[in-house]
Structure 1
Amino acid sequence: MEEEKREMEKEKEKTCKRCNQSYTASSNTSSSCRFHPSFFVCRRHDDQKRYYELKPDDPPYAAKFYDCCGAEDPEALGCTSSFHVSYDDD
């Protein structure tokens, strides 16, 4: 009975708190979750040499990108892969 309960809990569908996808424990692999480990920021990039497409209301120094990989699209596919992490796993 206890083993059956653990099996049911194991296959319970969860939501990943990094990529927001649904998954089960049996489908969770080391490359299941793609995410950005850093924030999407609005500031000058450290190298100061890259071109950034600014909106008309942006100040001239504004640069918008993921701090981890430099991707400038807020919807860019994550630059890091790992296991999904559930809100229940904390």
Structure 2
Amino acid sequence: MESLKGGERASLNQERVCKRCKKTFTQSSNSPSSCRFHPSFFVSRRHDDQKRYYELGPDDPPYAAKFYDCCGAEDPEAFGCKTDYHVSYDD
């Protein structure tokens, strides 16, 4: 195994922010199960039209069913349903 030069080692240990889950991470600790997120949008499905989906907006009526389109979780703060590597804003 090649030894890392100072700059490469520093880059692996530099803290970054994940653009999916917003947590800080380092490349050296990033693994396929590090990031937990929803791959889809939190949407609103209006009861008067069950076949059309809308992104949740500030003017959505209170009777709209709101959920994550990927897994059906109804809480906007629900724990993510998928895991993967963290993705940096720098990537």
Settle same-fold status: TM greater than 0.5.
yes
Consecutive unaligned residues in structure 2, runs of 5 or more: 52-60
Identity across the alignment (%):
60
Aligned to 2:5: 3
What is the CA distance between 1:4 and its match in structure 2? 1.1
What is the root-mean-square deviation in Å for CA atoms of aligned residues? 2.0
2:19 to 2, 17, 20: 17
Aligned residues: 77
Aligned to 1:63: 65
Matched position secondary structure for 1:87? coil
Q: Report the structure, 1 or 2, having the larger helix content.
A: 1
Consecutive unaligned residues in structure 1, runs of 5 or more: 48-56
Q: How does 1:45-64 map to 2 (within 5 A)?
A: 58-59=62-63, 62-64=64-66
Q: Report the structure, 1 or 2, having the larger strand content.
A: 2
Aligned to 1:26: 28
| In 1: Cα distance, 2:46 partner to 2:85 partner | 32
